[in-house]
Amino acid sequence: MTELRIGGARVARVEESYEPNFDARRFFPDWDPAELERHRGWMVPDHFDPVSGMLKLSMHSWLIKIGGKNVLIDACVGNHKPRAVRPQWHEKEWPYLERLRDAGVSPADIHMVMCTHLHVDHVGWNTRLDNGRWVPTFPNARYVFSHEEYNHHLAVDRDPARGPANYGAFRDSVLPVIEAGLGQLVAGAAEIDEHFSVQPAPGHTPGTVAIHCRSKGSHALFCGDILHHMIQVYRPEWSSFACADAEQSRRSRRRVLEECAGSGAVLLPAHFGAPHYCRIESAGAGFVPRLGA
């Protein structure tokens, strides 16, 4: 299990899956095989599978223990979710909750769940199947969502020509939380508590946010899918096929990298391969990752 300290916070990675799962040429429309050869030393085997030509992306949450509270950032794909359009995520039975318990907490111990955005692979464990109904997995938590992100998916879901939103994940993994009265919708830049804040970073989705955690002079930035893969540290102009607005995504990505390079914040993405997090250093007009906290 990946663990690190950010000031007074203890941070642990809770894995759902970690495997080759997206064809590099499809995932990044700007994919250049020369970049693989240039970076093969670190990309293989933890970030790229040369046999299949697939990127190796991790699906994980970050668990933060701070000030007597347990906070979960992003909620992966989830179990028993009908995702036929993505067979690798369809009706799965991953030991995610067992791994959460290995990290020292049960679902009832989670005080807050924060989602960087509401894509299918970031909301799944928000709910679990209970006698045919989707109910909040973390019954004592408040779930923090971007208001803009929520409104975007709600509009899509209500549109017969476009819904159901997000492969059905909005209905089975977001709406049950709202209906249970556990949702907290935040607009724009917002302070959540003394340790956590959110900052708009649109592009991948209209309401994507960067989540900041600050403690005792240390700073962590949880970026969700603002960066999917470590190659984007070197090539921040590469947006994925899943980015709603590729150009805006590039701008948000560069802002996050600039902030991390300038502040020394640890960058904790949702899908990076091992070691799953890094610091960022400026290198001329670009950036390089520095591994380790």
Ordered by start, the domain boundaries in the chain are 3-291
Give me 88's structure tokens: 């690798």
Give, as one character, the DSSP assignment of residue 206: T
pLDDT value of position 100 = 98
Where residue 293 falls among pLDDT bands split at 50, 70, 90?
Answer: low
Helices vs. strands in the chain: H and E counts, helices first: 9, 17
Secondary structure of residue 114 in the 3-state scheme: strand
Kindly report, residue by residue over 55-108, the tens digit of the pLDDT: 999 999 999 999 999 999 999 999 999 999 999 999 999 999 999 999 999 999
- Determine the Cα–Cα distance for residues 259 and 274; give it in Å rounded to an integer: 22
pTM, whole model, 2 decimals? Answer: 0.96
What are the contacts of 131-139 at 24+ separation with CB within 8 A? Answer: 133/176, 134/172, 134/173, 134/176, 135/176, 135/180, 136/176, 136/177, 136/180, 136/182, 137/75, 137/97, 137/107, 138/72, 138/107, 138/108, 138/110, 138/113, 139/107, 139/108, 139/182
Structure-token pair, residue 36? 């693989």
What are the tens digits of pLDDT across the range 99-155? 999 999 999 999 999 999 999 999 999 999 999 999 999 999 999 999 999 999 999
Token readout for 262 is 């300038």
Of 159-163, 180-184, 243-247, the least confident: 159-163
Is residue 34 within 8 Å of 247, Cβ to Cβ? Answer: no
pLDDT in tens, 202-229: 999 999 999 999 999 999 999 999 999 9
CA angle at 267 for the pair 263 and 273, rounded to the nearest 5°? 155
Query: What residues contact residue 129 under an 8 Å CB cut-off, 6+ apart?
Result: 79, 80
| Separation of alpha carbons 215 and 66, rounded Å | 9
Listed residue (201, 203, 204) closest to 212, CA to CA: 201
Instruction: Check if the beta carbon of residue 248 is closer than 8 Å to that of residue 256.
Output: no
Percent of the chain with pLDDT over 70: 99
Helix (H, G, I), strand (E, B) or coil at 191: strand
The per-residue pLDDT for 291 is 84
Predicted confidence at residue 292, as pLDDT, reads 63
> Phi-psi bin for 192: left (phi > 0), alpha (psi -120 to 50), beta?
alpha
The CATH number, out of the four listed (3.30.70.60, 3.40.50.1370, 3.60.15.10, 3.40.640.10), of the domain defined by the range 3-291: 3.60.15.10
Please give the C-alpha separations between residue 141 and each of 61, 64, 75, 129, in angstroms, as whole numbers: 15, 14, 13, 17
